[in-house]
Chain A
Amino acid sequence: MSTDRDITRIVRSWMDEGVTQLPDRVLDAVLDQLPATPQRRPSWLARRFLSMNTYLKFGLAAAAVVAAVVIGLQVVGQPNIVGPPDASPTPARTPAPSSEAMPLPAPGALDPGVYLMPAAFGGVDFAFTVPAGWEIDREGFVRKNTDSDATLDITTGVMFSAWTVDHVFADACVGEGTEQPVEETVDALAAALASQVRPGRETRGPAPGLEFDGHPVEHVTLYAPGDLGECGGRLRTWPGLNGDLNSGWPAGPGQTDDVYIVDVDGTRLVLVGSYWAETATEDRQELDALALSAEIAPQ
């Protein structure tokens, strides 16, 4: 019978055998392929970035058509999105005047007004009202007072986003390898998020008193503790479409995501309001008001 020390010594000795040099031809083959291998940028939200580009191209090319469509936008129901049931006071609902909705502009500051979030993000067009001081980034996030462009480095401010989600990580700490497809129902996604293994708390339930077209708005709060060292400094909530591991939605230390899941004529719309440990109360109130202003356009 070998002792542990024997095994370790033998294995280490055995490991020292074997090749140690990469043949030049392999290295040459790699370098030859660089020009034909575009780099991926940015990271987590590549899909969203691409979608945004697509949308912006479309918007620029067909501005007149978009304007006409926006003018014809009619409210067919209210998603009635509100903030989390705890902490911040719920602001008065201020419906977005959808007839004034503008296409989202290029990344940068947003003038106060009503904008149209295109279906490229959440699968459903919707209008929402933006107060002063907000901006849209290149990946389609509407944000205010965030202290970093990198999601995982943010410690304050607020962010609002819309998603199409078809996979969820079963273990947010491990992430890759635990992604699982989710059926296209509101309940399936809410259940997948509520049962996700993660070191923070999770709550799930219908958003109090809210419904859309007779269906309850499912609400899941996902929280990431301040120390995520054991998870490599981040959690992974869901990957990009089709389980794409190079995009998706992460959570950094101290991040809270209020996830609202709505069925819009068979399309599952996912809205996320995010805030951090140091976010000011007034910013959260604005985030709630912004989400509450959402109006679904005729599909």
Chain B
Amino acid sequence: MDTDLVIQAQGGDEEAFASLAVAAGDRLHAVAHRILRDIDLAEDATQQALLTIWRDLPQLRDPARFEAWSYRLLVRACYAEARRNRSWQPGLRLVDTDTPMADSSASVADRDQLERGFRRLSIDHRAVVVLHHYLDFTLDEVADALGVPVGTVRSRLHYAMRGLRAALDADARPTKRAGAR
């Protein structure tokens, strides 16, 4: 990220901020979508996060930390969207089987189970999973981005992955459960 642009935008330069928004918008939106699992909510959260970034940019003490800081505001916007949209409930989405998979290791059944398991997690836990496993942030980087101790990140990740694992493993158990009844 161009720290000169950040500094200019901190000074109120709208054109500089527009350049920042163009550069950061896609990755913020991608993260929001993966946290919220809903395209409309993700767009709203990204829009709100970008406006908050603009509004609070003068408060950023170290321009070099812009990227990590922007994720913190994005996650906060995701919280707000999730809270605001009361009708938003965990649910199933149709899986487009024509969409080429990035990796054949995630089967349609796996994705369905992951979707369910992930939606059961809090935004806190989702954010840690997305930053670590989608953006490849180290745990220290996740902690820095979210403004929480690294121990908290570690425990959230552990809890989240345990939940996802349980969701995936549940897919393999129906037959046994049926047989036990």
Q: Do A and B come from one complex?
A: yes
Interface, chain A (partner B; CB < 8 A): 1-2, 4, 7-23, 26-27, 29-31, 33-35, 37-44, 150, 152-153, 173-176, 230-232, 246
Query: Once bound together, how far apart are the Cα atoms of A133 and B59, in whole Å?
Result: 28
A33 touching B51 by the CB < 8 A rule? yes
Interface, chain B (partner A; CB < 8 A): 10, 12, 14, 17-18, 21-22, 25-26, 28-30, 33-34, 39, 42-43, 46-47, 50-51, 54-59, 61, 99, 101-103, 105-106, 110-111, 114, 129-130, 133-134, 143-144, 147-152, 161, 164-165, 168-169, 172
B103 touching A16 by the CB < 8 A rule? yes
Query: Once bound together, how far apart are the Cα atoms of A29 and B34, in whole Å?
Result: 22
* Known A-B contacts A22-B25, A35-B14; A12 and B55 likewise in contact (beta carbons under 8 Å): no
B33 touching A230 by the CB < 8 A rule? no
B161 touching A11 by the CB < 8 A rule? yes
Q: Give the contacting residue for B42; candidates A12, A19, A175; CB below 8 A.
A: A19
Q: Give the contacting residue for A1; candidates B33, B129, B169; CB below 8 A.
A: B169
* Known A-B contacts A20-B30, A231-B149; A2 and B169 likewise in contact (beta carbons under 8 Å): yes
B22 touching A2 by the CB < 8 A rule? no
B26 touching A39 by the CB < 8 A rule? no
Q: B58: which A residues are within 8 A, CB to CB? A: 39-43
A17 touching B56 by the CB < 8 A rule? no
B51 touching A37 by the CB < 8 A rule? yes
Q: B103: which A residues are within 8 A, CB to CB? A: 9, 12-13, 16
A43 touching B61 by the CB < 8 A rule? yes
* Known A-B contacts A10-B106, A13-B106, A41-B58; A19 and B30 likewise in contact (beta carbons under 8 Å): yes
B114 touching A21 by the CB < 8 A rule? no
Q: B129: which A residues are within 8 A, CB to CB? A: 11, 15
A17 touching B101 by the CB < 8 A rule? yes
B30 touching A18 by the CB < 8 A rule? yes
Query: Once bound together, how far apart are the Cα atoms of A15 and B136, in whole Å?
Result: 11
Smallest beta-carbon distance A229→chain B, Å: 9
Smallest beta-carbon distance B139→chain A, Å: 12
Q: Give the contacting residue for B29; candidates A11, A22, A37; CB below 8 A.
A: A22
A43 touching B59 by the CB < 8 A rule? yes
Query: Once bound together, how far apart are the Cα atoms of A26 and B106, in whole Å?
Result: 31
Task: Other than A15-B133, A18-B30, A30-B51, give 9 A-B pairs with Cβ distance below 8 A.
Answer: A10-B114, A13-B101, A17-B101, A34-B51, A37-B54, A38-B55, A39-B54, A230-B151, A231-B149
Query: Once bound together, how far apart are the Cα atoms of A33 and B147, in whole Å?
Result: 28
Smallest beta-carbon distance B96→chain A, Å: 10
Q: B134: which A residues are within 8 A, CB to CB? A: 12, 15-16
A173 touching B14 by the CB < 8 A rule? no
Q: Give the contacting residue for A39; candidates B28, B57, B143; CB below 8 A.
A: B57
B102 touching A40 by the CB < 8 A rule? no
Q: Give the contacting residue for B59; candidates A2, A12, A246; CB below 8 A.
A: A246
Q: A33: which B residues are within 8 A, CB to CB? A: 51
The contact sample of 30 A-B pairs, CB cut-off 8 A, is A1-B169, A2-B169, A7-B164, A8-B161, A10-B105, A10-B106, A13-B105, A14-B110, A18-B33, A19-B39, A20-B26, A22-B26, A22-B43, A23-B43, A30-B51, A30-B54, A31-B14, A34-B14, A39-B12, A39-B58, A40-B55, A43-B61, A44-B59, A150-B61, A152-B61, A173-B149, A176-B147, A230-B151, A232-B143, A232-B147
Smallest beta-carbon distance A225→chain B, Å: 14
Smallest beta-carbon distance B57→chain A, Å: 6
Q: B12: which A residues are within 8 A, CB to CB? A: 39
B150 touching A230 by the CB < 8 A rule? yes
B59 touching A15 by the CB < 8 A rule? no
Query: Once bound together, how far apart are the Cα atoms of A283 and B49, in whole Å?
Result: 43
Residue of A nearest to B60 (CB): A43
Smallest beta-carbon distance B137→chain A, Å: 12
Residue of B nearest to A12 (CB): B133
Give 9 nearest A-B pairs by CB, closest first. A43-B59, A13-B103, A16-B102, A22-B29, A22-B25, A41-B58, A13-B106, A15-B134, A30-B50
